[in-house]
């Protein structure tokens, strides 16, 4: 059964290169400055970090697009960036992936969301954020709607990536879901806090904390998790619901009412950053390729397992997912 299941999943992995995905959401520029600490500052009781390395990386919806491309799909991206140096860097990184930047709207009214992390000896010591979290203005929302309408043609799935930086604060998610439904395109959503924004999506993927803020429930037993998933599904319009549970994997309930746990293997965790972006990309692509929700979760677990063993928002290739599949499948079958 194990080998047959693996062959079935790998056949779907082979089909991902035929898919086109549109990612809409909050674009983030991640910056890392890494070095050593050898002494304390004479100016204040803080360590002095001697910077040895500086790197820029894509975060948020931009990293979801990167993850989708790494898994083999063709990708389009829509989001906002400021008219600033960070916006220039973000656009340049997107271009380097071979993704069109025509869907990135530049605005003087909002800065590019930028997260600067200072790391010493493998330990994050400080993070500096520059961002605007207020809902976008009406005129910006209208520009985004026109851009999405232009970019969505020919896509197989839309991923909505919410980091609560304002892009979905004016009803944009509901508009995308309704627009895509008319075109018979699936929409999967990765919410940050306001799950109700994504009612009507084909699939919604909160983590356990986000889920229990939205409806009453817990994850203490399978029965409790199923009850939580059923409440979520009812509140979100009846589509697929997946709740991520960190090192315990995922729990899901598909639109036919079939519930399950999809456990993962114990991992050597270096950095959890970007694991969620990788998961939602895998879930959306596998569902669009015709996989069951369970198989989509198994692949998402495998992809996330690779992601957390890398530092920063590192891309995960389909070959790495294939290598990780046997262990994830074994973990699932041991629970049955």
Active site residues: 277
Q: Is 44 exposed, middle or buried (0-12, 13-18, 19+ CB in 10 A)?
A: exposed
The answer to whether the CB of 35 falls within 8 A of the CB of 120 is yes
Angle at 188 between CA 237 and CA 164, to 5 degrees: 95
The answer to whether the CB of 16 falls within 8 A of the CB of 289 is yes
Tell me the C-alpha distance between 113 and 88, whole Å. Answer: 12
Tell me the C-alpha distance between 93 and 132, whole Å. Answer: 21
Tell me the C-alpha distance between 262 and 303, whole Å. Answer: 13
């Amino acid at each position: 059964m194990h080998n047959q299941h693996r062959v079935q999943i790998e056949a779907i992995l082979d089909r991902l290169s035929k898919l086109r995905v549109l990612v809409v959401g909050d674009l983030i520029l991640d910056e890392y400055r890494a070095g050593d600490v050898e002494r304390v500052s004479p100016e204040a009781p803080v360590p002095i970090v001697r910077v040895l390395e500086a790197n820029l990386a894509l975060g948020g919806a931009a990293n979801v697009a990167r993850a989708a491309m790494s898994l083999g799909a063709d990708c389009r991206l829509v989001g906002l960036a400021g008219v600033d140096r960070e916006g220039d860097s973000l656009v340049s990184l997107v271009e380097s992936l071979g993704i069109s930047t025509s869907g990135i709207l530049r605005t003087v009214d909002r800065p590019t969301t930028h997260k600067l992390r200072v790391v010493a000896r493998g330990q994050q010591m400080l993070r500096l954020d520059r961002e605007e979290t207020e809902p976008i203005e009406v005129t910006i929302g209208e520009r985004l709607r026109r851009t999405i309408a232009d970019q969505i043609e020919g896509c197989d799935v839309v991923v909505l990536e919410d980091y609560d930086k304002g892009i979905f604060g004016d009803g944009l998610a509901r508009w995308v879901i309704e627009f895509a439904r008319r075109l018979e395109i699936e929409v999967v959503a990765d919410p940050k806090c306001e799950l109700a924004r994504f009612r009507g999506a084909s699939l919604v993927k909160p983590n356990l904390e986000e889920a229990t803020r939205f409806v009453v429930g817990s994850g203490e037993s399978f029965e409790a998790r199923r009850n939580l998933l059923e409440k979520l599904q009812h509140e979100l319009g009846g589509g697929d619901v997946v709740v991520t549970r960190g090192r315990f994997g995922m729990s899901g309930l598909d639109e036919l009412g079939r519930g399950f746990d999809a456990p993962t293997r114990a991992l050597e965790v270096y950095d959890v950053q970007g694991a969620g972006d990788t998961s939602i990309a895998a879930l959306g692509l596998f569902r669009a390729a015709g996989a069951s929700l369970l198989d989509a979760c198994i692949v998402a677990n495998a992809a996330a397992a690779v992601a957390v063993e890398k530092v920063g928002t590192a891309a995960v290739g389909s070959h790495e997912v294939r290598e990780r599949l046997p262990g994830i499948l074994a973990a699932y079958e041991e629970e049955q």
